[in-house]
Amino acid sequence: MEPSNRGTILSGFKITPIFWGKGPLVQSDHADLCVVVDDQARVQHPVLARLTAQIAVTGGFVHVAHTAEEILNLVISNQVNGAVVVVDSGLVTSQAMIDALLRGQWTTNAVLVSKGIPSDFTRAARVANKHVLSAASRVHRVSAPTYEMSGLVRVGTGEATRAALEDARSYVSTLTAATPMTDLLATILVRAALPVAPLEPTGICERISGSDDDLIVRADAQDDEEIRMARALRSNDGFYSTFVLRKLSARVTKLALKKSWTPNQITVASLGIAGVASALFMTGNHLLLALGAILVQLSIIVDCSDGEVARYTGVSSQLGAWLDAATDRVKEYAIYAGLAFGAARHGHNLWQVAMALVVLQTVRHLSDYNFVAIRGVRESALVPIDLKQGVDGGTASAGSLLDTSASLNSRREIYWLKRVIYLPIGERWLIISIGALLGSPRFVFDVLWCAGLFGLAYVTVGRVMRSRRWKHRQEISGCDIVERQMDLGFLLSWFVADGSHPLAARFGWAAPSILRAVELGLIAAVCQYHHIGYLWLFAVAFHHYDTMYRALAGFEFPERLSRLGLGIEVRAALFVLFAVGGASPFDVALTIGGIYFFAVFVVMASRQWIRQLTSAN
């Protein structure tokens, strides 16, 4: 039955006509987006009309359907043309959230969820490692739920997704009672072992079965601009970044949006500010050290803004992510060098501890990124489950100590203490600024070294304990991620020439960090009185970051550049040869080697990576 007065004017919104029932879809500005509204519950007209008005403002194909089979058919028929979003007709949220959910650049299947034990277990979900691991519906149950689904699912493109939907046709046809399809579609995708990302809301985002005038009034009273800004901020930052830097960067972000600055322009500006700070540190002058300390804080505030602008505008890319991450490393290494150079002007040789910090940070970051990636593969590995099975496969304990640690994270003070121990970039740069204000590079290096070493020990113990419980087959070990980072030369390439996967073991994630500790540690240990070795160290450390970013994105380091880079064992052998007198003087050999590796690993590799990402976009 088709109402005659819907799809015209509501609450000041002029909207395009929307077809109800089995009629054709109406095209709006976003021709590649199909939105299906699940109105099996037949919610009251004002609630449904409000939702369809919000969707129409955002744009796209809109269809309101009343049966599970009709909804599934619409999703299948439109999924070949692009992503399809299914929204529960009772969803009440802000226009800003609707915009974000429909316009967001999600690359996979996704479902809207709210954190916490669900009040309705037919809407339950279990989420871990940024993956939805289990989803409920009217007839399916979730073990140990941690989230509640909020009434929106985005079905991505791809043959595997289409096959899962086709396979579910016969099951959906047997349903005799109304079953919310936003929940059932999430269950279909997860039980087909397809990746589903969790989308968390900002502000009011609830679904109602009848009419809740008070909730609607409160949802409409929200400031859309505040919601957009809140969503632009990172939700998992460190303590100092969350409570200080992000509050300041929000102002820069508003200015950047007003001036139409791009995220990459902001990234480059942050790099330039940090470069000036490093130059000021090189003078060793107390007043200029203080000015450099201020610029360090300004640089990281601006650096926070690039990501905020990207999230606010939805303009993001692999190129921008790589540029942001790569310049972070360049800035930090340059600041360490500036402090060491300035200290040398006053007769203090801090080059070795500066190099040791580069080694420590490289080992830590590679460990962080690789462990998280491998954990995501192993602990988020899904096993296909038949839709006729009422309850999912259950959950496994991570061990009593780790389970206790996880439960303690629910306490706010424990959570933030752990974040400080982790020593993220905000805390590190705060230590740099404090030391510079005190006129003491020694303070910076000593505190960063001690705190960094403690943080590395703390997280490594937890990761080793967690890894001990992994018992996955090689094909779901994630070993390909770390194998792409081995950087073996012609002497050790035989190690994996037989096609074996030695890093498929549970501790394989640590291999790149160990190799980097050996190679970079050797340079730092020898070059106490040869500060030009910092250039060699910087180039090789940058190379390992670059290789890691490529591996995480699914790319190999180019073979031609890999040959020019010689491989870890050849580079180490050359360095030892130079150090024991095979080349004289040692500083000349270090200079030549540093310039060569800088040209290969920083200049040539960056140019190649930028071209590759640009052509991919």
Question: Taking a C-beta distance cutoff of 8 angstroms, is the pair 355, 445 a contact?
Answer: no
For residue 448, what are its two tokens? 């960063």
Is 587 catalytic? The answer is no
Output phi, psi for 55, to 5 deg: -65, -40
Q: Which of 38, 328, 487, 546 is catalytic?
A: 328
List residues bridging with 141 in a β-sheet.
391
Q: How many Cα atoms are found within 13 Å in the side-chain-facing hemisphere of 401?
A: 8
| Helices 95-103 & 45-58 angle (0-180, nearest 10) | 50
Other Cβ atoms closer than 10 A to 484: 19
| C-alpha closest to that of 257 among 317, 316, 321, 312 | 312
Question: Taking a C-beta distance cutoff of 8 angstroms, is the pair 435, 335 a contact?
Answer: no
Cα distances (angstroms) measured from residue 397 to each of 165, 400, 425, 473: 32, 8, 32, 19
For residue 9, what are its two tokens? 């004017």
DSSP helix/strand/coil, 410: coil
Question: Taking a C-beta distance cutoff of 8 angstroms, is the pair 43, 209 a contact?
Answer: yes
Do you find a cis peptide bond into 585, omega within 30 degrees of 0?
yes
Rounded CA-CA distance 403/395 in Å is 12
Other Cβ atoms closer than 10 A to 119: 8
Residue 565 backbone zone (phi > 0: left; psi -120 to 50: alpha; other: beta): alpha
Q: Which residue bears the tokens 């109406």?
A: 26
What is Dmax (Cα atoms) for the chain? 91
Secondary structure of 73-101 in HEC code, one letter for each residue? HHHHHHHCCCCEEEEECCEEECHHHHHHH
H or E, element range at 64: strand 61-65
Rounded CA-CA distance 98/562 in Å is 46
For residue 48, what are its two tokens? 């449904």
Rounded CA-CA distance 295/278 in Å is 9
Q: Which residue bears the tokens 């226009």?
A: 95
Rounded CA-CA distance 106/104 in Å is 6
For residue 403, what are its two tokens? 């389970």
Question: Taking a C-beta distance cutoff of 8 angstroms, is the pair 125, 134 a contact?
Answer: yes
Rounded CA-CA distance 573/615 in Å is 37
Cα distances (angstroms) measured from residue 26 to each of 376, 451, 471: 40, 59, 50
| C-alpha closest to that of 298 among 281, 277, 320 | 277
Question: Taking a C-beta distance cutoff of 8 angstroms, is the pair 156, 106 a contact?
Answer: yes
Active-site positions? 328
